[in-house]
């Protein structure tokens, strides 16, 4: 069928209509007239992909390599237009799901398109190591994806020579972590079988130029990954993320399996934005990971920071990083639900939440609202679940007073958002989340690519 594309939607497809039905189109740009083939029908919504561009947008560009390799859904769109599309996606999700109208201009902090990833999950099959092609389990050649530094792409090509041995031993993924400069590279091998079966494979990986460390899963009862070769962590100076007198010569470390922000070019601006929004002497960082926000904020402003994390991959790094500023940073290893159950009041506190893609659980939303922190700084990589949670917090007397967006994953539909919520009064039965008397203030910060 032929359709004219109207606007972007959450997830990266574009909305069009045909005979009264909504068509969500992959591979198109708003304003284009395209021929599509329907891949799937869901009630009144059709999922389709572009097979021919009949009237092209001036923002369309050619794509090198497999366009869907590594989720590069927006690779065919000129970068400045990508930023506009992400702004539209944020606005649409906030309005439709969160009941929040952003009346002021919203811009997305830009990132260089190439070499931005310092953390990646590679996939292994019997022939190669690479990313997955979008919507499939096929491993694709990432050489032309541009997400990794050129020397890291070459490193992955060399890893591919060991793919058969790794696949036979049950290694299906490789976690890769680099420092900001790209001088350190640690590989982690999760596996379903005995790593001994891949002895030749992993020994060869350890000898690959530019691999500075190799780890695998911990032995039963052990703490932290098992070190196969080299240094098990990558490190960066604390001042690289948030310059301050308190950072001094301190460093922040992380193992490859631990969660960490992926974009080496924008992470500093993200940390600065979060730090600028917290206030007061008490800060609680929920879903703290290895302590990126907690430790940087503690070094800059002192006071007392509580870092809450349950993930076994992140807690050892969090404790090590927090020890640099003991006793300013206190580590609590517990699920966020458990911590909030034990801490019923957070009055006078700024709370940071950076949950997984699924967003905040119902219990966390309920307990957090009841604890009544003065401020909630909500960091999210999924604008749809964030908007849902903003509506719930709005019903409990919180209002959005600032929204900022960051392009952590260029050429994909993903956008990182940082939202400040402040108390606006008692809980309300209104279904809509509204800003206080003044419109929501949004960041006008931007940076050219």
**DSSP secondary structure string for all residues of 241-300:** TS--TTTTT-EEEEETTS----BTTTHHHHHHHHHHH--SSEEEEES-TTTHHHHHHHHH
Judge residue 447's burial from the number of C-beta atoms within 10 Å of its C-beta, 0-12 exposed, 13-18 middle, 19 or more buried: middle
321 and 174 share one domain: no
DSSP string, 347-394: TTEEEEE---TT---HHHHHHHHHH--SEEEEEES-HHHHHHHHHHHH
Instruction: Assess if residue 13 is contained within a domain.
Output: yes
Query: 63: how many CB neighbours lie within 10 A of its CB?
Result: 16
Q: Is residue 251 part of a domain?
A: yes
At residue 436, the pLDDT reads 36
Least confident of 156-160, 223-227, 423-427: 423-427
Q: What is the CATH number of the domain that holds 254?
A: 3.40.50.150
The answer as to whether 8 is a domain residue is yes
pLDDT at 432 over 50: no
Instruction: Name the residue with tokens 């237009």.
Output: 81
Is residue 412 domain-shared with residue 293, that is, in the same domain?
Answer: yes
Q: Residue 183 is part of which domain span?
A: 119-231
For the chain, give percent helix, strand, coil, nearest 5. 25, 30, 45
192 has pLDDT over 80: no
Mean predicted confidence (pLDDT) in 87-93: 95
CATH of the domain at 4: 2.40.50.140
Residue 282 lies in a domain: yes
Which of 16, 36, 60 delimits the end of a domain? 60
250 and 227 co-located in one domain: no
Looking at the structure, tell me whether residues 419 and 306 fall in a common domain.
yes
Question: Last residue of a domain, which of 179, 205, 231?
Answer: 231
- Look at the chain and report how many structural domains it folds into: 3
Count the Cβ atoms, other than its own, within 10 Å of residue 304. Answer: 15
- Asked if 133 and 194 sit in the same domain, the reply is yes
In degrees, rounded to 5, the angle at the alpha carbon of residue 262 between the alpha carbons of residues 68 and 409 is 40
Same structural domain, 402 and 331: yes
Residues 6+ apart with CB under 8 A from 78: 59, 60, 61
**pLDDT interval class at 87 (50, 70, 90):** very high
Inside any domain, residue 425: yes
> How high is the pLDDT of residue 206?
85
Residue 76 counted as domain residue: no
Taking residues 243-260, report their average pLDDT: 94
Q: Nearest CA to 70 among 40, 32, 114, 126?
A: 114
Q: What is the rounded CA–CA span in Å between residue 272 and residue 111?
A: 16
Q: How far is CA 115 from the centre of its chain?
A: 16
How does pLDDT run across 26-77, given as a tens digit for each residue? 999 999 999 999 999 988 899 999 999 999 999 999 988 777 788 899 999 9
Token pair listed for 249: 């010569």
Instruction: Give dist(CA 347, CA 353) in Å, integer.
Output: 16
Same-domain status, 204 and 295: no
User: Do 168 and 246 sit in the same domain of this protein?
Assistant: no
Query: 444: pLDDT confidence band, cut at 50, 70 and 90?
Result: very low
- Percent above pLDDT 70 for the chain: 91
Residue 193 confidence (pLDDT) above 60: no
Distances (CA, A) of 64 to 52, 61, 93, 143, 441: 18, 10, 31, 10, 39
Determine the 3-state secondary structure of 236 from DSSP. strand
Q: Would you say residue 315 lies in a domain? A: yes
175 and 225 fall within a common domain:
yes
Same domain, 246 and 221: no
Q: Name, of 140-144, 169-173, 390-394, the range with top average pLDDT.
A: 390-394
- Please determine, for residue 435, whether its predicted confidence score (pLDDT) is greater than 70: no
Shared-domain flag, residues 256 and 349? yes
Consecutive H or E run containing 151 = helix 150-159
In this prediction, residue 5 has a pLDDT band, given cuts at 50, 70 and 90, of: very high
CA distance 377 to 331: 19
Is 302 a domain residue? yes
Q: Tokens 């196969």 identify what position?
A: 228
Mind giving me the DSSP string for 154-210?
Answer: HHHHHHGGGHHHHHHTT--EEEEEE-TTS--EEEEE--SS-GGGGHHHHHHHHTSTT
Give the CA distances from residue 445 to residues 230, 253, 377, 403, in Å, rounded to whole numbers and listed in that order: 41, 29, 18, 11
Give the chain's end-to-end CA distance (angstroms, integer).
37
Query: 208 and 227: one domain?
Result: yes
Q: Which of 35, 60, 85 is where one domain is finished?
A: 60
pLDDT tens digits along 305-359: 999 999 999 999 999 999 999 999 999 999 999 999 999 999 999 999 999 999 9
pTM of the predicted structure, to 2 decimals: 0.92
184: CATH? 2.40.50.1070
């Amino acid at each position: 069928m032929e359709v004219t594309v109207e606007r972007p939607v959450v997830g990266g497809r574009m909305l069009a209509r045909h005979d009264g039905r909504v068509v969500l189109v992959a591979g198109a740009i708003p304003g284009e007239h395209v021929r599509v083939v329907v891949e799937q029908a869901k009630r009144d919504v059709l999922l389709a992909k572009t097979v021919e561009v009949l009237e092209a947008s001036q923002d369309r560009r050619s794509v090198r390599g497999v366009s869907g390799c590594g989720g590069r859904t927006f690779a065919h769109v000129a970068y400045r237009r990508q930023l506009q599309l992400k702004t539209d996606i944020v606005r649409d999700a906030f309005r439709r799901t969160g009941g929040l109208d952003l009346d002021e201009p919203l811009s997305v902090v830009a990132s260089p398109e190439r070499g931005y990833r310092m953390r990646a999950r590679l996939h292994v099959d019997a022939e190669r190591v690479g990313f997955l092609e979008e919507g499939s389990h096929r491993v694709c050649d990432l050489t032309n994806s541009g997400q990794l530094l050129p020397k890291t792409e070459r490193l992955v090509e060399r890893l591919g020579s060991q793919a058969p041995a790794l696949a036979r031993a049950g290694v299906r993924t490789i976690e890769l972590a680099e420092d900001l400069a790209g001088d350190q590279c640690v590989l982690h091998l999760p596996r379903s079988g005995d790593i001994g079966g891949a002895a030749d494979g992993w020994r060869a990986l350890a000898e690959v130029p530019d691999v500075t460390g190799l780890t695998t899963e911990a032995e039963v009862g052990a703490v932290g990954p098992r070190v196969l070769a080299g240094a098990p962590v990558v490190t960066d100076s604390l001042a690289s993320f948030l310059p301050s007198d308190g950072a001094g010569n301190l460093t922040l470390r992380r193992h490859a399996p631990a969660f960490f922000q992926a974009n080496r070019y924008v992470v500093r601006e993200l940390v600065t934005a979060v730090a600028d929004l917290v206030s007061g002497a008490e800060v609680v960082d929920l879903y703290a990971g290895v302590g990126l926000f907690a430790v940087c904020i503690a070094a800059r402003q002192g006071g007392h920071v509580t870092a809450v994390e349950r993930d076994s991959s992140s807690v050892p790094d969090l404790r090590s990083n927090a020890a640099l500023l003991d006793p300013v940073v206190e580590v609590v290893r517990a699920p966020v639900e458990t911590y909030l159950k034990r801490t019923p009041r957070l009055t006078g506190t700024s709370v940071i939440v950076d949950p997984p893609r699924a967003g905040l659980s119902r219990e966390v939303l309920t307990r957090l609202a009841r604890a009544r922190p003065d401020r909630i700084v909500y960091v999210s990589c999924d604008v749809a679940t964030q908007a849902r949670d903003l509506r719930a917090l709005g019903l409990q007397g919180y209002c959005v007073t600032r929204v900022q967006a960051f392009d952590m994953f260029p050429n994909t539909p993903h956008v990182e958002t940082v939202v400040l919520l402040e108390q606006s009064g008692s809980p309300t039965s209104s279904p809509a989340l509204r800003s206080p008397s003044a419109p929501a203030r949004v960041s006008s910060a931007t940076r050219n690519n």
